[in-house]
């Protein structure tokens, strides 16, 4: 084991009672000199104030809560620190980052940790530091109390929604570039002319007319009825008296919901009488945004199970049965206590990767319990099941059960026929049916509504049944492989403004219809038109890759930029190195397998591509520019 040297410099962040110090924290949005991914990089050292415990002592304590770490060998305290950060950083959600590195320096170690959400990762680093210091001083450390805010921080981040995270993870694992556009509040997948933007399962390829149309439940239902699809009969009302009259006309039981809505908000099914109509009407009314008219649907409520049929790109891919939350009595616990026990289960962590959310207690639940002559304080006899809601709302603790393999061919065709009438990448079709194994033509089947932005995690990680990899279906709609998401990228370690303009002209001469984005320390260009340069270098790179017409990117990344900012993108088709420094040589690490590397050291030229290598010397006064222009021509 290697113990790092104690730095004689003043401590930066450490307290006088600390054994360790971390300092120089830096966030890189992409590949950097220390890691090929987005990373938090920091320096780690001893303080000299307090002698640390042995590595074995730390491992013994850490292993009690992180058992997978207790049998590993650690070369240094920094190694243990990094491994612990990586393990804790999964946040008991199975988050996918796995890359880390340690670089030893004279007086400290530099540690790089792969990150998704920088603020969460930084908080994890400080959490682990505090944990180690508590072990050193034999102090109590409230792990779970301090750990929960880390989970909540990631959950509240732009990456923390189950659908967003599952798509982000899938794209990353498939080698598809993906990053968040902060100004727009959207995710971008791919670069330049290959890009797709979206939020959750809504994408720029969708028809916004069709997406808006699906929120107008009355018009949408009339449209489906015109096409001959099975929909419940109903009326639109604006007053409670109108709702009561409509319920009498349609016939009990009825379902009541706002015309404009989604995710089951304000929906009440199986309404049996006038008293329930009043409650359901005001619940729907409460769910209507102030900017929207007071339009509420009263329609026939069908008996059966609640199913979601999911289509991607017009094709059926998955089906899920959704059941309301329930508890099972034990003979001595109240319903409130049973809910608390159920909510404490690991599968109800309510994280981006847990199959179920917390059971939510609200007025609708208490009213449904009252219909069963129960309250939150009722004690349920052993083994008796009590359902807590009428509506199977997953966000309120409902349960998802995969039903994909049971769907009758007629129902698959029905779902696809509905989806074909809408230009939407993803469509959820909510139906009530006795079973999906029987054809809709048998009669006990009704389309309740369709959704243009369906959640997908219920299919990927149902509470019961097989996982359906819906995120892959979605990503592969846009990109069959990683190469389909990318445009050619040429990376220089240094290039002058004049050389950059010559390179642009050279390429446009051969491809006059192309749109070329280019950036160096001296300027930003689209073709030969110079653009306003942002003070943050990588913002310029992102803006070019955000251009949906971009055919090619040329970018300069010198040592200063690599150290201060890192790179924005991953992967280069051509890397041109002009007398590179050690740091600049790390650009090669970011090359594609079939990339061409052109390197000049003094007058010596080296060209490498797919195992092939050529070496020669420039003649006195011979320019380097024609060398790399020739290789660019070969690749393009």
Mean pLDDT, residues 172-200: 97
Separation CA 268–CA 254 (nearest Å): 9
pLDDT tens profile 482-517: 999 999 999 999 999 999 999 999 999 999 999 999
Instruction: List, in sequence order, every residue forming a beta bridge with 305; answer none if it has no partner.
Output: 433
Mean pLDDT, residues 310-327: 97
Hey, where are the domains in the chain? 20-155, 162-203, 233-300, 305-477, 487-635
CATH of 487-635, one of 3.40.50, 3.40.720, 3.30.70, 3.40.1760: 3.40.50
Retrieve residue 471's tokens: 């995120």
Share of the chain above pLDDT 70, in %: 97
Retrieve residue 555's tokens: 């970018």
Residue 475 has pLDDT above 60, yes or no: yes
pLDDT tens profile 190-244: 999 999 999 999 999 999 999 999 988 889 999 999 999 999 988 999 999 999 9
* Count of Cβ atoms closer than 10 Å to residue 389 Cβ: 23
Q: Which CATH superfamily is domain 305-477 in?
A: ATP-grasp fold, B domain (3.30.470.20)
CATH topology of domain 233-300: Dna Ligase; domain 1 (3.30.1490)
Mean pLDDT, residues 268-278: 92
Go through 201-236 and write b for each residue having 16 or more CB atoms within 10 A of its CB, e for each that does not.
bbbeebeeebbebbbebbebbebbeeeebbbbebbb
Higher pLDDT, residue 132 or 303 = 132
Which phi and psi angles does 376 have, rounded to 5°? -65, -20
Mean pLDDT, residues 61-87: 96
Q: How confident is the model at residue 628 (pLDDT cuts 50, 70, 90)?
A: very high
pTM for this one?
0.89
pLDDT tens profile 594-620: 999 999 999 999 999 988 999 999 999
Report whether 198 contacts 204 (CB < 8 A). Answer: yes
Separation CA 452–CA 627 (nearest Å): 52
Mean pLDDT, residues 343-363: 87
Residues in contact with 325: Cβ distance below 8 Å, sequence separation at least 6, in sequence order? 342, 359, 387, 388, 389, 396, 397, 398, 399
Q: How confident is the model at residue 3 (pLDDT cuts 50, 70, 90)?
A: very low
Q: How confident is the model at residue 264 (pLDDT cuts 50, 70, 90)?
A: low
pLDDT tens profile 22-46: 999 999 999 999 999 999 999 999 9
The pLDDT of residue 339 is: 96
Mean pLDDT, residues 470-486: 97
Report whether 34 contacts 101 (CB < 8 A). Answer: yes
């Amino acid at each position: 084991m290697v113990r790092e040297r104690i730095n004689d410099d003043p401590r930066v962040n450490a307290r006088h009672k600390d054994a360790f110090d971390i300092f120089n924290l830096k966030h890189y949005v992409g590949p950097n000199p220390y890691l090929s991914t987005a990373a938090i990089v920091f320096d780690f050292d001893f303080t000299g104030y307090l002698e640390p415990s042995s590595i074995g002592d730390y491992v013994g304590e850490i292993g009690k809560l992180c058992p997978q770490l207790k049998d590993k060998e650690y070369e240094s305290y920094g190694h243990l620190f990094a491994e612990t950060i990586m393990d804790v950083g999964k946040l008991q959600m199975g988050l996918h980052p796995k890359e880390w590195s340690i670089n030893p320096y004279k007086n400290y170690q530099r540690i790089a940790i792969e990150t998704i959400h920088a603020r969460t990762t930084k908080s994890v680093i400080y959490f682990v530091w505090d944990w180690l210091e508590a072990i050193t001083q034999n102090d109590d450390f409230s792990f779970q109390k301090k750990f929960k805010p880390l989970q909540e921080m990631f959950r509240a981040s732009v990456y923390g929604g189950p659908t967003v995270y599952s798509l982000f993870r899938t794209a990353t694992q498939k080698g598809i570039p993906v990053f968040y556009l902060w100004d727009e509040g959207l995710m971008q997948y791919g670069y330049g002319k290959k890009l797709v933007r979206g939020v959750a399962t809504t994408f720029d390829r969708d028809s916004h007319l069709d997406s808006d149309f699906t929120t107008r439940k009355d018009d949408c239902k009339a449209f489906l009825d015109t096409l001959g699809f099975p929909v419940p009969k109903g009326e639109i009302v604006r007053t409670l008296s109108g709702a009561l009259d409509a319920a009498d006309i349609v016939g009990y039981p009825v379902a009541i919901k706002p015309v404009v809505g989604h995710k089951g908000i304000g929906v009440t099914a199986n309404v049996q009488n006038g008293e329930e109509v009043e409650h359901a009407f005001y619940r729907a009314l409460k769910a209507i945004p102030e900017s929207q008219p007071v339009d509420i649907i009263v329609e026939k409520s069908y008996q059966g199970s609640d199913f979601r049929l999911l289509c991607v790109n017009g094709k059926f891919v998955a089906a899920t049965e959704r059941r309301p939350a329930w508890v099972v009595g034990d003979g001595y616990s109240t319903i409130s206590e049973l809910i608390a026990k159920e909510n404490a289960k690991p599968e109800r962590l309510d994280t981006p990767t847990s199959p179920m959310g917390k059971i939510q207690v609200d007025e609708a639940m208490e009213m449904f319990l009252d219909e069963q002559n129960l309250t939150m304080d009722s004690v349920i006899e052993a083994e008796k099941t009590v359902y807590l809601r009428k509506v199977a709302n997953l966000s309120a603790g409902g349960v998802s059960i995969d039903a994909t393999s049971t769907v009758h061919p007629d129902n698959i065709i029905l779902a696809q026929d509905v989806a074909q009438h809408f230009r939407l990448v993803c469509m959820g079709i909510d139906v009530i049916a006795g079973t999906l194994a029987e054809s809709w033509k048998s009669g006990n089947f009704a389309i309740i509504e369709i959704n243009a932005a369906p959640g997908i995690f219920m299919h990927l990680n149902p509470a019961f049944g097989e996982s359906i990899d819906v995120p892959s279906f979605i990503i592969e709609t846009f990109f069959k492989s990683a190469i389909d998401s990318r445009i050619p990228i040429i990376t220089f370690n240094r290039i002058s403004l004049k050389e950059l303009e010559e390179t642009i002209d050279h390429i446009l001469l051969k491809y006059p219809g192309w749109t070329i984005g280019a950036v160096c320390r001296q300027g930003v260009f689209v073709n030969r038109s110079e653009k306003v340069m942002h003070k943050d270098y990588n913002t310029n790179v992102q803006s070019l890759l955000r251009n949906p017409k971009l055919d090619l990117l040329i970018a300069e990344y010198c040592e200063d930029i690599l150290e201060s900012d890192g790179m924005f993108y991953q992967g280069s088709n051509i890397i041109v190195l002009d007398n590179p420094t050690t740091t600049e040589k790390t650009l090669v690490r970011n090359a594609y397998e079939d990339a061409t590397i052109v390197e000049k050291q003094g007058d010596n030229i080296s060209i490498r591509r797919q195992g092939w290598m050529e070496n020669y010397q420039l003649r006195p006064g011979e320019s380097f520019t024609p060398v790399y222009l020739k290789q660019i021509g070969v690749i393009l």
